[in-house]
A and B are shown apart, each in its own frame.
Chain A
């Protein structure tokens, strides 16, 4: 089985040096890319059916094709790699950033050429300092070899890459908030439209792509869209960095064919549940995705299949809920995260999330009332799509609405028994 993204990643070892990376075939895509027109590459990426790996699954080629033509909007254009991985449960971009930084730089160069930008930023969360050191080294090496800088390999194409070490906050993962942070402002989201593709960083066309998305681009250029499509086992293309965490025997992240089932991830790769623990459910793609149940184990982990099962693939990193962990406590923890990380810009999110936390805390501590459940359901509607400025609050209530549906009896037991049945004291 081919693993293009992780072929050079060795667990617990230093990443390949630039020389080793080149020897293993690295940076060969540049000459190939420069022999093509940017439009050819956008067409290849579109034909590959690559969908954005940050969580939303928007087709990458289509996104690139939507950048307004030069002349119709102010120039230059900017390219931003979103390396602000902060979704609870997600640790897949860390693997790529730390494991093979040269690959990320190569992916950025080919992507930037395709969308014709000369300035790229890597928006990196500050906690990923090891990734930052390794990326800086990879960038310095690339400048030395003229893979970056002016007139790259005589192609006439120029590119500079800068790393922005973010000062924190989950909302920076939202692309317009990220752009505000890069401009040195408070990272609150912007109104859309205009979309960043037309009016982003400093009012210029700006393309924001996730780390894993970018890591795929030069492989598509090297091997072609048909090769990429054949990597997936279902209807969707490519490989995916999946992860499993929680009470499994061997938590981790692995590159597998797109469409690997949730059950295979948990059983074959995560080693199954730890002894003495049974699986009660899982969030399939980070804390902002709806819970699924053991009956969904046969669901392929691709965007459409997980959506059909009632959730989202999100980041593709599964977190299991075991039978000895209280589902109310679990979702209380999730909502505490969202209440704290809300940027406070719009009222439903700023006021609604702390209210949800207060109710969940009361239920968890034996002070819940039956009426609380309908208030929580009402909050899920109030904070749902269409009522808030950005997708943060709708994401925050996804796990809550599904936990209320699937684990209702657990809530009612808390209210009836006036305590958390999982707590011994």
Chain B
């Protein structure tokens, strides 16, 4: 069940949408913002609010990489793996993060603190290698800096 607050916020988005379906991404994000991810149940609830089928909405939800269909940790680390970051130290950084967190891409640490994800070019090629933790951009990141960065996120 969507909360009243969620329904209210999605309804606000609908005001700006030419057709209800146009607010799909905004609506999914309203739920994800509060719950951290979008469950099958939420897909059904949002779909009925937008007058689309759950399958149609799931097709949208699974297309876009920022919509999480699985639970994520409290913080999401998105490590840029595109050509500039790759050529300036991506591999050692990934090895280090895997070791420190004990998880690979798409996985969440046992304490639910971090989820590690690959990221397409973050548009920070002058700061390579770069990574995003939640909304905060870090770069250039050296292996020595990783501990200090991770400590900022509890």
A residues with CB within 8 A of B: 85-91, 93-94, 125-130, 162, 164-170, 181-187, 201-202, 243, 245-247, 251-253, 283, 287, 317, 319, 321-322, 325, 329-330, 333-334, 336-337, 340-341, 343
Contacts and interface: CB of A to CB of B under 8 A. Distances in A.
Interface string B78-99: 1001111011100000000000
A375 B93 CA distance: 33
Contacts of B123: 85-86, 90-91, 93-94, 125, 127-128
A287 B22 contact: no
B135 interface: yes
Nearest to A167: B64
Contact of A181 (B23, B25, B28, B118): B25
Given A183-B19, A185-B21, A90 B87 contact: no
Contacts of A87: 121
Given A167-B25, A181-B25, A319 B125 contact: yes
B28 A243 contact: no
Given A167-B66, A186-B63, A337 B82 contact: yes
Contacts of B1: none
B124 interface: yes
Given A88-B84, A287-B83, A337-B82, A126 B126 contact: no
| Closest A-B pairs by Cβ, 9 of them | A184-B24, A167-B64, A245-B125, A88-B82, A168-B65, A88-B121, A251-B126, A168-B66, A129-B135
B82 A167 contact: no
A89 B120 contact: no
Given A85-B123, A90-B121, A168-B64, A184 B22 contact: yes
A89 B126 CA distance: 9
Contact of A89 (B63, B119, B125): B125
B116 to A, nearest CB: 16
Contacts, number: 136
Nearest to A317: B125
B67 interface: yes
Given A202-B18, A340-B118, 16 more contacts: A89-B121, A91-B123, A91-B126, A127-B137, A166-B64, A168-B64, A168-B65, A168-B67, A168-B120, A183-B19, A184-B24, A184-B60, A186-B63, A247-B88, A330-B87, A337-B83
Nearest to B16: A162
A273 to B, nearest CB: 13
B122 interface: yes
B122 A325 contact: no
* Most chain A Cβ neighbours within 10 Å, of B29, B66, B83: B83
A278 to B, nearest CB: 14
B148 interface: no
A343 to B, nearest CB: 8
B2 interface: no
A291 to B, nearest CB: 12
B82 A186 contact: no
Given A88-B120, A167-B29, A167-B67, A243 B87 contact: no
B67 A247 contact: no
B17 interface: yes
A246 B121 CA distance: 13
Nearest to A87: B121
Given A89-B125, A167-B67, A252-B126, A247 B120 contact: no
B21 to A, nearest CB: 5
Contacts of A334: 83
A91 B124 contact: yes
Given A247-B87, A333-B81, A185 B121 contact: no
Given A184-B21, A287-B82, A330-B83, A340 B120 contact: yes
* Most chain B Cβ neighbours within 10 Å, of A125, A164, A252, A333: A333
Given A128-B123, A162-B16, A246 B23 contact: no
Nearest to B67: A167
Contacts of B125: 88-91, 243, 245-246, 251, 317, 319
Nearest to B122: A127
A246 to B, nearest CB: 6
Contacts of B18: 183, 201-202
B43 interface: no
Contacts of B10: none
Contacts of A343: 63
Interface string B110-154: 000000001111111111100010010100000000000000000
